[in-house]
Amino acid sequence: MNTYGYIRVSSRDQNEDRQRNAFRELSIPVNHIYMDKQSGKDFDRPSYKRMVRRMKKNDVLYIKSIDRLGRNYGEILEQWRILTKEKEIDLVVLDMPLLDTRRGKDLIGTFLSDIVLQVLSFVAENERTNIRQRQAEGIAAAKERGVRFGRPPRPLPEHFCEIYRLLESGKITGKAAAEACGMPLSTFRYRVKVYQENTNNRIF
């Protein structure tokens, strides 16, 4: 029997120390700790796949929390089934002691473990859905207050006002004006629109 630990963080700048420290306390060999830094939306994870191929029957896999397996209710349950049923690996979720397949291997123990797993998987996915909804609502409310997101626009060229007046007077076309400002026509039209809104001018 060998022990393994799996770490997943959802972005390159997210810190994995909390998960790694937990495995260090369990004395899991360093070469038995696998980590992927990418989204949990699917299981296209190189380290995870290598770890699963390496593990044998009766090995023990530790994860810090159930959502390290994924961010989708169905996929979490499917991976749990593959690991515990097909690979016959024991799985331990450190943040939830009830999810420890080493305990209660009789029918009742397995039944209770499966129920807890399904409830926690649903709760984890539902919480992420709520977070996304709150984020969307927050963004919408901020936009209504005039908050702008994304990169700030580049400063207008020094001669933009002069080009704008030539365009307004009909002396040059929109395409020629955009080229003179070094912008694609679509970008130029957008910047003109913003300029008009700020100066109450209209030419289109």
* pTM for the predicted model, two decimal places: 0.56
- Residue 108: the pLDDT is 56
Q: What angle do CA 115, 116, 118 make, to 5 degrees?
A: 65
Tell me the range of 3-12, 54-63, 131-140, 191-200 where mean pLDDT is highest.
54-63
Residue 157 has pLDDT above 90, yes or no: no
For 77, phi and psi rounded to 5 degrees? -65, -40
Of 43 and 22, the one with more pLDDT: 22
Residue 203: pLDDT band (50, 70, 90) is: very low
- Residue 37: the pLDDT is 83
Please compute, for residue 63, the number of CA atoms within 13 A of its CA located in the half-sphere on the CB side.
Answer: 25
Q: Measured between alpha carbons, how far is 154 from 147 in angstroms, rounded to an integer?
A: 17
The per-residue pLDDT for range 69-90, each reduced to its tens digit, is 876 777 788 888 888 888 888 9
Catalytically active residues are 10
Residue 61 has pLDDT above 50, yes or no: yes
Residue 181 has pLDDT above 80, yes or no: yes
